Every structure is written in structure tokens, then in C-alpha cells.
Amino acid sequence: MTSSTTRPTSDALLADMMLLHPKLIDLSLGRVERLLAKLGHPEKKLPPVVHIAGTNGKGSVTAYLRAFTEAAGKRAHVYTSPHLVRFHERIALAGDDGKAHAIEEDTLVDVLTRVHAVNDGDDITQFEITTAAALLAFSERPADVLLLEVGLGGRLDATNVIADPALTVIMPISMDHAEKLGPTIAKIAFEKAGILKRGVPGIVSQQPDDVLAVLESRARLVGAPLTVWGRDYDAYEQAGRLIVQQNDRLLDLPLPALIGRHQIVNAGTAVAAALTLGERIPSLAIDERALEAGLRNVEWPARMQHLTSGPLPEILGEGAELWLDGGHNPAAGDMLADTLATLDEKSPKPVYLIVGMMGQKDALGFLAPFRGLVRAIYTVPIPGAHEAPHSEENLAEVARGAGMQALDRKNVINALETIAGLSQGPKRVLICGSLYLAGHVLSLQQNLE
């Protein structure tokens, strides 16, 4: 614990907690279960929980469900990870104004101090101890629902201490975190299927056939009723509208504010989840008007976020577009390339990428979908990354090996200046490859203003 005589900050407490990290990491629920027991089981004192897993789309579906809930006049707590700029973003508490807000510094310091004291120096990962702190905070402030996003995997993730959620949601699953979850898509699907619970409805988003087989096998084993994309519900764009069909119900809704064809899947899954949740818990029923308002007003930073003002867009000059996305795996690369292609169909402009990636990510798999779509790639380091990122030199070499023009640059601002100095005329630039890089960009936007 920090030795300062003044009250510690959340940053100091989080740094102290890193010292408790086990020398050998094994995904396990034992450490967090032990800590929660010492805290008096806050995980048993929560509002109804929607537990959300998947490789891509977890954050988006959480954002949609939050928007639906708040548009219906209900209050939501929200747990997500990682954060973009400040740790406080991970724990959003329902406020008196009906909106969820990042936890206040005093409240965060209070719950971190309490869990740190109760843990009493035992080995525990930072994610486990901060998840316990989040559950403690959620248990002590009223809300109608808790939207709980899995950190990694599902079966042995610290969030899986919730024994009886109101609903589970499994978003599209693809290869990612193979070093921790397993080397095959079937193994990764098995880990994520671990959030399914007996008697608890599960909403399954669009999945490859081999993934769906694993999820359905696990559901049969534990007795979890599934609502499956393509069988029990579907969503598609038609005449500039979002059409969602579930059983014998057809909804004609506005397109979501989050752009990209993949957001049709994410939004459709969120609508199916909201309808199913309302059927199970009538007090959480969300009408069509709230669904419409939620789709129009949903916000989720660093998911094809259009940066229209501020110091970074100004570097590119008038008429240029600057976009930001935290996508970092091959499936995300496919979705981002598709989104850029769609933008180009509507308004053609030369496209450039600025990319930084963490070292364990499949850089070639992520970059390959952009071949033939972008003029050049500029690779950058990720300041303050929690683990070793790909060096900008190595990342540029990977891109060149995939047949794309690529140059390394010392930072994001240098990359933007390079692009601005190219040919005259409007350009389209996407910064992507890591949520940590996205957080750095948003921090630059704030700090340079």
C-alpha cells in the first residue's frame, strides 16, 4: 500500500495492486471468489445482470443496450474493459439523471482501498481485484440493470462469478488471445460459452458453423435456452432502415448511429437481447420508441469514431476525414476494410491508415484485408502500452510483406503531418490497430486543445 500520509489517488492504488500480480498466471475464479467472500458477497447484491462475451462487438452491444435502457427511463450500471483514457471509464454508475457516468475519483479510491485492505496482500491479478471493486461499487448504488462485459474469454474470467444472470449474450467469436484461450476457434468458443447458465436465456449473435456447434453443445449440457442469429432472429438493412425479425415479430427501426455493416449485426443482436430481457423481467421491458431513440443516440468511442474537430483533424486540413477505431484482430480488419470500402462508394477519397498494434496480435491477419484499398500505411508506436507492442519498424515490414506501401513514423502526429504533406485534396485517414492506441489518440485530442 502506498506510504503517503495523504489520501492515495486511484492511480497510486492501481499501481500498488500490480505488485500483487501472481508470478504464474492461471485463469481461475478462485482468487476473486475468495476476495468477494471476504467483502460479504457484493456479487449477490446486484441488479439483474446482462453478461456479455465474444471476440468482436461486446462493447458495441453494451453501448446499444445502455442506450435502449436509458431511453426507456431506466438506469444502468456498465462494466467494460479496457479503458481508453482513464481507468474510471471501466466502471460507469447509474446517476440521478438517469445516465451512467464514469465512477467518481472519491468513490473509486474508496472501493479500491477497501478491496485492497480485505485482500491483505494475497496474490491476485489487477483485473480480478478491480472487478471485485467494481462489483462492490455496483452493489452499493441502485440501478435497474448491470451490463457486465467479460474481460477475457468467459469461463474463467473474473466476471463469471455471477451465478444467475438475467441474460447472457455471446457476440461473434473469432481467433484472438489464442495464447491464453487456446489455439483453435473451437477452444476459444468453449471458453466464451462458459458464461451460459442453467435456465438463463442466451442470445447468440452471428457465428461460424463450427463456433455455433460448440455453443449449442454447451447450452444443451448446462440447460441454457438459446436464441440464435439466423434461426430465431435476424437483422438486415432495407431501404435505409434496420429491419429486425424475431419469431413472428418484425421491427422497422432507424439505422444505428454507429457506422459499418457489422453494426447491423451488433444492433440486431442488441434488439433481440433487449426484447428477451423484457420478456424475462417485465420491469425491464423496452418499447419500440426507446429502441428507436437508443439506435439514433448510441455512442461508443473508438468504434469508427469520426473525429470532426480538434487538434488532430486540423493537421490534415479542410475536407479531410479522420476516423478512429480500436479494432485489432483479423475479423476486425475485415469489418474495417468493408466499412472503408462502403465510405469510398459514397464519397471516394484516397485512404491512408495509421496503425499501431500490441505484440501478440496477428498483424498480418489484421492488415491483409486493406490490400488494394489504402494508398499507404504509416506505422507508429503505442506510448504507455501495458505490454510490448509491435515496433513500428516491424509492423511496417509486415505490411510491406503483404504487398502494401508502408513507412514507420515516430508518433501519430508525425504520421498525420506526413499524410497532410502528400498530394493536395481531401483524404480519408483511419487510425486503428489497438484500443490502447485509440486511447492515446483521444488523450492527444484532449491534451492538445
What is the pTM assigned to this prediction?
Answer: 0.91
Q: Decide: helix, strand or coil at residue 325.
A: coil
What is the arithmetic mean of pLDDT over 242-254? 94
Between 250 and 23, name the one with better pLDDT. Answer: 250
Residue 23 has pLDDT above 90, yes or no: no
Q: Which three cell numbers stand for residue 179?
A: 495464447
Q: Which three cell numbers stand for residue 159?
A: 466476471
Residue 26: pLDDT band by 50, 70, 90 thresholds?
A: low
Sign of CA dihedral 143, 144, 148, 154: positive
What is the arithmetic mean of pLDDT over 281-293? 97
What is the arithmetic mean of pLDDT over 424-431? 92
Per-residue pLDDT tens digits for 73-104 = 999 999 999 999 999 999 999 999 999 999 99
Q: CB–CB of 337/370 below 8 Å? A: yes
Q: CB–CB of 408/395 below 8 Å? A: yes
Per-residue pLDDT tens digits for 142-193 = 999 999 999 988 899 999 999 999 999 999 998 666 666 777 999 999 999 9
DSSP string, 227-254: EEBTTTEEEEEETTEEEEEETTEEEEEE
Q: Provide the CA 302 distance to its chain's centre, in angstroms.
A: 9
What integer pLDDT is reported at residue 176 of this predicted model? 66
The three-state DSSP-derived secondary structure of 399-422 is: HHHCCCCEEECCCHHHHHHHHHCC
Of all residues in the chain, the percent with pLDDT exceeding 70 is 95
What integer pLDDT is reported at residue 247 of this predicted model? 82
What integer pLDDT is reported at residue 84 of this predicted model? 92
Of all residues in the chain, the percent with pLDDT exceeding 90 is 81
Q: Decide: helix, strand or coil at residue 91.
A: strand
| Average of per-residue pLDDT values in the chain | 92
Residue 4: pLDDT band by 50, 70, 90 thresholds?
A: very low
What integer pLDDT is reported at residue 174 of this predicted model? 84
Q: CB–CB of 417/59 below 8 Å? A: no
Residue 25 has pLDDT above 60, yes or no: no
Cα–Cα distance list, 90 to 101, 215, 258, 308, 377 (Å): 10, 28, 20, 25, 31
Cα–Cα distance list, 398 to 84, 395, 403 (Å): 26, 5, 9
Residue 13 has pLDDT above 90, yes or no: no
What is the arithmetic mean of pLDDT over 267-279? 98
What integer pLDDT is reported at residue 394 of this predicted model? 94
Residue 387: pLDDT band by 50, 70, 90 thresholds?
A: confident
